[in-house]
Amino acid sequence: KQEVTQIPAALSVPEGENLVLNCSFTDSAIYNLQWFRQDPGKGLTSLLLIQSSQREQTSGRLNASLDKSSGRSTLYIAASQPGDSATYLCAVRLAGGGNKLTFGTGTQLKVEL
Amino acid sequence: GAGVSQSPRYKVAKRGQDVALRCDPISGHVSLFWYQQALGQGPEFLTYFQNEAQLDKSGLPSDRFFAERPEGSVSTLKIQRTQQEDSAVYLCASSPLRGQATEAFFGQGTRLTVV
């Protein structure tokens, strides 16, 4: 059974700092990996989708990397802002496992002024 | 509409009551998913539809949970005889293509509280 772990569970940083969120998964036979943002009381907003054949994806201040063989992904946030405060979730789709996503428990990020 | 729409946003049910949660996916999206998110946890898969066909219901926790998508668009998740452990946020997501892993778009969820 695929298990997804995110470290750290919570993180508090001062505004302007660069930071890295970690995601690891036990079954490397994935189709793709997706990073989401969740604000309190809200649904999930997709940030980046990395296909299994890709090494990284970038969107603005966000960069996600994927090392499928080692079962790891990182989300790098540059020059963090208070508006980045949210819970960040990573999720994987297994190859041949249908379209369902297996999620980690998330990293709760707080960016302080 | 522009995104996935879920209703109601909040639902309080007495233990033993039946509830029905609605999901309106993005127009034209073939795939539809339901997830359950307990407090402080990541979402857990419940069930998956491709058009009107329910292709995977392996995540439904018990036979009290039932989902349908009769016309391949709107979906309803029904929970019979609700129990306290059913309290969670229920998220719906849709994707545009069938049989292909593409980006999933999520609704804002329905927060169910069973008292």
pLDDT tens string B72-89: 999 999 999 999 999 999
Cβ distance of B101 and A100 shorter than 8 Å: no
pLDDT at B108 over 70: yes
Model confidence at B1, pLDDT cuts 50, 70, 90, reads low
What pLDDT does residue B96 have?
86
> Which of A43, A98, A105 comes nearest B106 by C-beta?
A43
> Which of A49, A98, A105 comes nearest B42 by C-beta?
A105
pLDDT tens string B62-76: 999 999 999 999 999
Query: If you average pLDDT over every residue of chain B, what do you get?
Result: 93
Cis-peptide, bond into residue B8, ω within 30° of zero: yes
As a whole number of angstroms, the distance between CA B35 and CA B115 comes to: 21
